[in-house]
Amino acid sequence: MKRNAVILQREKTALLIIDVQEKILPVMLNRENLVSNIEKLINGFKVLNIPIFFTEQYPKGLGPTTPELVKLLEGSGSISKMSFSCFGAGELFTTLKEKKLSQVVVCGIESHVCVQQTVLDLLVNDFQVNLAADAVSSRKTIDYEIALQRMNEHGAEVTTTESILFELLNVCGTDEFRTISKLVK
């Protein structure tokens, strides 16, 4: 018997946090839940020792990543970009390939712009994308909903923060399981 190939595997997975910056974050829908779920992903990925990457769209204009997340991302440098898609974020895609990271968990803002364009570019470059629907946002509900639908139609696995973390755990009864169980409660 075999497991489904879309189930996340630690050694193949990375977290990509897109543009959660000070000047745009305040106008996002469900801002508190958005940040809380991204924090859970960051903390969970750190417990599991899985690589984390984060981008900033035009930081001169939109400011740095929100301090709430920066404090959790110590040791990870931001990747500045001018393009909406992270495809234009330096060597990010190449780095993922070189590290043999073929499954990318995506979160951030805005769902219908930078997140959507990045997801579509990841998919066409043969990455599996797991989109944390509860850890992405837009200013308007229609933009959020249509973006999730479009990304799903093009092959993204649309799921949730908790589902992602438990998928990566694979089993219960470990110290990692106990730590992550506390994170998601």
CA distance 37 to 135: 5
Structure confidence by residue, pLDDT tens digits, 36-90: 999 999 999 999 999 999 999 998 889 899 999 999 998 777 899 999 999 988 8
Looking up residue 77, the CATH number of its domain turns out to be 3.40.50.850
Give the chain's domain count: 1
CA distance 5 to 164: 14
Domain membership of residue 4 (yes or no) is: no
Helix/strand/coil for 81: strand
Domain membership of residue 138 (yes or no) is: yes
Domain membership of residue 62 (yes or no) is: yes
Tokens for 46? 């750190």
Which amino acids are annotated catalytic? Answer: 19, 81, 114
Going residue by residue through the chain (185 aa), what tens digit of pLDDT does each one get?
998 999 999 999 999 999 999 999 999 999 999 999 999 999 999 999 999 999 999 988 898 999 999 999 987 778 999 999 999 888 999 999 999 999 999 999 999 999 999 999 999 999 999 999 999 999 999 999 999 999 999 999 999 999 999 999 988 999 999 999 999 88
Contacts of 107 (CB under 8 A, 6+ apart): 15, 16, 17, 18, 37, 38, 41, 115, 131, 132, 135, 136, 161
Range(s) of the domain holding residue 143? 11-184
